[in-house]
């Protein structure tokens, strides 16, 4: 299993990039958001999911561990393959997609290319209890609510420690986002 790749973006084409890792090029499929944020010759670390099919092997990459974990949850839903999961994650930053699932907004999920109404409803039913509590609803958030960032290092660190996405989100709920990453992790672990 290839868990991550770290290297330089050598080429970009059609929502995938080739990452040069000490002379070996790995083609990695990306969400539209990650694809737009990467430039040629950028040094990057991508968390990867190695998908093996009967006739092909593919790597899907994510700039955050939270995005990878949500991808893994999405492909666990019957009828949602890696391409549909990438399409769902291309709708918006990972936290907004997670919130749409937590808020049971199947209309939002069905906007993804290749995802119909029934598939979107299946995603909601299967994952609403697995993604954690919503931190906000929609694109605009209430100022009194804490918003977890898409590339939240504390969230990624808790998941690296074995927390599920839902548990990590719940543990960080109410922890001051102005604290350092280490302090936020410490506070989250105390509340558990």
pLDDT digits (tens, 9 = 90+) for 79-116: 999 999 999 999 999 888 998 898 888 899 999 998 99
The tokens for 172 are: 């960080």
Q: Between residues 118 and 172, which one has the greater pLDDT?
A: 118
Q: What's the chain's average pLDDT?
A: 86
Whole-prediction pTM:
0.73
Q: What is the pLDDT of residue 141?
A: 41
Q: How far apart are CA 82 and CA 102, in angstroms?
A: 20
3-state helix, strand, coil in the chain (%, to 5): 40, 20, 40
């Amino acid at each position: 299993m290839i868990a991550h790749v770290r290297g330089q973006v050598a080429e970009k084409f059609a929502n995938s990039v080739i990452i040069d890792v000490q002379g070996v090029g790995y083609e990695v499929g990306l969400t539209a958001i990650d694809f737009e944020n990467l430039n040629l010759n950028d040094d990057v670390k991508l968390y990867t999911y190695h998908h093996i099919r009967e006739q092909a092997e593919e790597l899907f990459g994510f700039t955050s561990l939270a995005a990878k974990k949500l991808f893994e949850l999405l492909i666990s839903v019957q009828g949602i393959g890696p391409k549909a999961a990438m399409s769902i994650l291309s709708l918006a930053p990972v936290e907004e997609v997670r919130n749409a699932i937590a808020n049971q907004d199947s209309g939002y999920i069905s906007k993804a290319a290749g995802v119909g109404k029934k598939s979107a409803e299946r995603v909601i039913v299967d994952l609403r209890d697995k993604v954690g509590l919503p931190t906000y609803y929609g694109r605009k958030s209430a100022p009194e609510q804490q918003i977890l960032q898409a590339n939240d290092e504390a969230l990624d660190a808790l998941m690296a420690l074995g927390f599920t996405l839902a548990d990590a989100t719940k543990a960080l709920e109410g922890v001051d986002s102005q604290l350092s990453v280490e302090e936020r992790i410490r506070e989250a672990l105390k509340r558990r």
